[in-house]
Amino acid sequence: MNTPAVTLPTGAGRGPLPLDRPDFDRAPVTVAWEVTRACPLRCTHCRAEAQRHRDPGELSTAEGLALIADAAHMGAKVFVLTGGDPLARSDIWELLDAVRSAGLHAGFSPSATARLTPEKLARAVDAGAGTIHLSLDGARPETHDGFRGARGAHRRTLALLEAAIGLGVRVQVGTTVCRQTVDELPLLAETLPPGIAVWSLFFLVPTGRATPDDVLGADEHEAVLRWLATVDAPFRLRTIAAPAFNRVLAASGGSPLPAVTDGNGMCFVSHRGEVCPSGFLPIPVGNVRAAPLRHWYRHAPLLVSLRDKERLEGRCGRCEYRGLCGGSRARAWAATGNPFAEDPSCAYQPGATEPAPSPAP
């Protein structure tokens, strides 16, 4: 994940924990486990290309418990259970409890399907979820419903957000930033339910069902990031696959911390146990069925190289902000096949004078 200000939840996830000088070579801040690819939705951008039925090759409950224990042992802070739809697994409550019992902050990212109810959200919190993440990709029902391929998804998501906020848990709203959604970002920022803790903006990477035509151009990315720097909101802003937000914040007098990027503070485990730098950079470096997660994160050549900013090429390699940013390795790989290439979504020319942030995207 890429974050403009790295603050992590403590205990049950109610307060911030500053991350000072993280040793990303030893452990990621966040481990995300795709517990299943089963999901009834047909989202147009789905990274996982979710299917109707569970894969018989998914990690078992015992293998999942071992993965959670290893993540805690290696020093990770946050463990996210994502999918597909995690509620497709009947053992999801046991897995959430294991994350909390291991001393990790449990992030829970269910799909807003008919199987997700306020009662299920309450059960997730009781089981150990410290953060509930729900996706809202448009301010208008037709935008979100069209994006998610399900009529009524917008209405259902708003109701679920209200229910989650009422539980007193950290609530995070995720929004995909792409051609279909970018025009509604200002209205969405104004109408997000009061009480959410984080607005997480996923700048689209063309993996899974997403296509290059869905991705904003470099100047458009820059306009959105500069607008975000001007947003005054009661919730925290966070960007995914857009570490250049750190550059924008730094240039406008903000105080960003080192970006958490693909393989550098972030690690992803697929439903079959494959270890990848992130869900958006799906290059397997090993499998937790063959060796513990800590082995692959610390020693896999690709992951080690992704943490070395000297490996960056093109403008990213020359950029004076590479220590704060480093570019999206996932988007570089998606565009060129080279995860060390310059980030094509960045409009910045190294050494240039930064203009002031813009008021709207």
Q: Where are the domains of the chain?
A: 7-336
pLDDT tens by residue, 261-287: 999 999 999 999 999 999 999 999 999
Q: Under DSSP, is residue 242 helix (H, G, I), strand (E, B) or coil?
A: coil
Q: What is the largest CA-CA distance in the chain?
A: 54
pLDDT above 70 (res 359): no
Q: How much is the pTM?
A: 0.89
DSSP 119-175: HHHHHHHHHTEEEEEEE---SSHHHHHHHHT-TTHHHHHHHHHHHHHHTTSEEEEEE
Q: Which helix (H) or strand (E) holds 287?
A: strand 286-287
Q: What is the pLDDT of residue 44?
A: 67
Q: pLDDT category, 18, cuts 50, 70, 90?
A: very low
Q: What is the pLDDT of residue 13?
A: 29
What is the rounded CA–CA span in Å between residue 335 and residue 173?
Answer: 27
Q: pLDDT category, 135, cuts 50, 70, 90?
A: very high
Q: Which two tokens stand for residue 29?
A: 């801040």
Amino acid at 14: R
* Pairing verdict, β 129-135 and 105-108: parallel
Q: Which residue has the tokens 């946050």?
A: 78
Q: Which two tokens stand for residue 360?
A: 């709207």
Q: Omega before 84 cis (within 30°)?
A: yes
What is the rounded CA–CA span in Å between residue 226 and residue 58?
Answer: 41
Query: How many whole angstroms from its chain centre is CA 310?
Result: 25
Alpha helical stretches, state H, the chain:
61-74, 92-101, 118-127, 141-148, 153-166, 185-191, 218-228, 244-251, 293-299, 301-306, 314-318, 329-336
pLDDT above 50 (res 5): no
Query: How many whole angstroms from its chain centre is CA 225?
Result: 17
What is the rounded CA–CA span in Å between residue 105 and residue 124?
Answer: 13
Q: What is the pLDDT of residue 277?
A: 97
pLDDT tens by residue, 243-261: 999 999 988 887 777 788 9
The count of other CB atoms within 10 Å of the CB of residue 184 is 18
270: closest CA among 28, 32, 2, 27? 32
pLDDT tens by residue, 69-93: 999 999 999 999 998 899 999 999 9
Q: What is the mean pLDDT of the chain?
A: 88
Q: Of 28-37, 251-260, 320-329, where does mean pLDDT reach its minimum?
A: 251-260
The CATH class that applies to domain 7-336 reads alpha beta
Q: What is the pLDDT of residue 146?
A: 84
pLDDT above 50 (res 339): yes
Q: pLDDT category, 22, cuts 50, 70, 90?
A: low
Q: What is the pLDDT of residue 208?
A: 67
Q: pLDDT category, 11, cuts 50, 70, 90?
A: very low
pLDDT above 90 (res 105): yes
Mean pLDDT of 282-295: 97
Q: Which two tokens stand for residue 224?
A: 């959105």
